[in-house]
Structure formats: structure tokens, C-alpha cells
């Protein structure tokens, strides 16, 4: 699996990658520790604001809370077995970059490593900690985006629970049905 070349991507277009609801990999680092987790529970809360659920039993919860940083990585179908494997072991026991032969790429704005093999990487800073305590909900500001220029529509994976995944399919557009002010110029 090769590291994918990326281009800078405007943070206010984060929805283009995350709104369809793909499984993401969240990478974190704190002092000499680093972690990757698989996550299907996330949402946009603004053009450059993302909420992610990180269970407090996950090692990533502690690293995210202490560092107040993460990278949201968007893997594609070719990484499916690694994505499942990452979700089924703990960063307490193993370095997942090593185990799954993934490339830790240095970020520009955060210390957490980007997963080089993913189609997109969003460097994020934590906005607040109240929801972290209440719901294990981390509210992130996206501070830097990196997206591979091709394919235009990555083949993403979407979890249903029970070991089952939906893979992204056909693309359709309905721009003519939109009010002009609902679309970018």
C-alpha cells in the first residue's frame, strides 16, 4: 500500500469528504505515545467543525484529551482489512503504524501523525472539553486539510455494525433542483 500524494484542501470544504459518513481513522499522539482508532461515529458541526465519538475506554481518548489534537484520516476500500484490524486491537498493546505497515506523515499544524495511505487527512484542534466528559464527544476545529487529487470520488467504506460494511457506489447530481444560494458559486 503506497502513501498517497495530497494537495492542500480548504478546511471549509471538509464536508465533501466527511458528510457521506465514511469510516475514519483517528490518529493521536502524546509524549512518546501514538494511537490510531477506527471510528464510524462522527458528524459535521460547521463547515470546519467536526464531532467525533471516542469511547473513554479507548487509549485514543486519553491521548486526544491530553494533546487536544488529532488527525481525521479517510481510508478507502483497499485499506478495509487494516481498518478492521485497527478497530480490533488496542494502541496500549501495539504500535498500529508498525503492525499495519502504515506511514506516519508529519503534520503541519499538529503533532499527531497523518496516516499517509489514506485518501484524505484533516489536522484538528480540540475546541472544548465539556462534551468530552458528557458524551465522549470531541468537538474539533479542522485547521489543515490534505486530500489526494484523484480519484475525484474515493471508494469509501461505511460501517453497519455486525462486521458488515457498505461500500460507496454510484455518484449522482441534482444541481438543477437546488436554489442557487444553496450551491457554491
- Contact between 21 and 158 under an 8 Å Cβ cutoff? The reply is yes
Tell whether residue 172 is a contact of a second copy (CB under 8 A): yes
Residues 32-51 as x/- pattern, contact with a second copy by CB under 8 A: --------xxxxxxx--x-x
Tell whether residue 56 is a contact of a second copy (CB under 8 A): no
Which one among 35, 137, 142, 148 touches a second copy, defined by CB under 8 A? 137
Q: All 3 cell numbers of residue 4?
A: 498517497
Which one among 66, 108, 135, 150 touches a second copy, defined by CB under 8 A? 135
The least CB distance from residue 33 to a second copy, in Å, is 22
The least CB distance from residue 178 to a second copy, in Å, is 5
Q: Which of residues 78-117 bind a second copy (CB under 8 A)?
A: 80-81, 84-85, 87-88
- Look at residues 122, 129, 116 and name the one whose alpha carbon lies nearest to residue 143: 122
CA distance 185 to 181: 8
Q: All 3 cell numbers of residue 182?
A: 444553496
CA distance 116 to 132: 27
**Count of CA atoms in the C-beta half-sphere (13 A) of 92:** 7
Nearer to a second copy, 21 or 111 (CB): 21
CA distance 143 to 7: 15
Q: Which spans of this chain sit near a second copy (rule: CB under 8 A)?
A: 13, 15-16, 19-22, 40-46, 49, 51, 53, 80-81, 84-85, 87-88, 131, 135-137, 139, 153, 158-175, 177-179, 182-184
Amino acid at each position: 500500500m503506497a502513501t498517497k500524494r495530497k494537495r492542500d484542501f480548504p478546511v471549509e470544504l471538509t464536508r465533501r469528504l466527511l458528510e457521506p459518513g465514511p469510516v475514519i481513522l483517528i490518529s493521536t499522539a502524546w509524549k512518546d505515545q501514538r494511537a490510531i482508532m477506527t471510528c464510524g461515529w462522527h458528524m459535521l458541526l460547521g463547515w470546519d467543525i467536526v464531532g467525533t465519538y471516542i469511547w473513554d475506554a479507548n487509549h485514543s481518548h486519553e491521548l486526544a484529551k491530553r494533546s487536544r489534537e488529532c488527525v481525521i484520516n479517510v481510508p478507502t476500500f483497499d485499506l478495509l482489512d487494516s481498518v478492521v484490524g485497527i478497530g480490533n486491537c488496542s494502541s496500549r498493546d501495539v504500535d498500529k503504524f508498525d503492525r499495519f505497515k502504515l506511514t506516519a506523515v508529519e503534520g503541519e499544524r499538529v503533532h499527531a501523525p497523518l496516516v499517509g495511505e489514506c485518501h484524505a487527512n484533516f489536522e484538528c484542534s480540540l475546541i472544548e472539553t465539556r462534551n468530552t466528559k458528557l458524551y465522549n464527544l470531541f468537538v474539533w476545529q479542522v485547521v489543515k486539510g490534505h486530500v489526494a487529487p484523484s480519484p475525484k470520488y474515493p471508494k469509501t467504506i461505511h460501517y453497519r455494525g455486525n462486521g458488515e460494511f457498505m461500500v460507496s457506489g454510484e455518484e449522482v447530481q441534482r444541481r438543477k433542483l437546488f436554489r442557487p444560494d444553496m450551491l457554491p458559486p
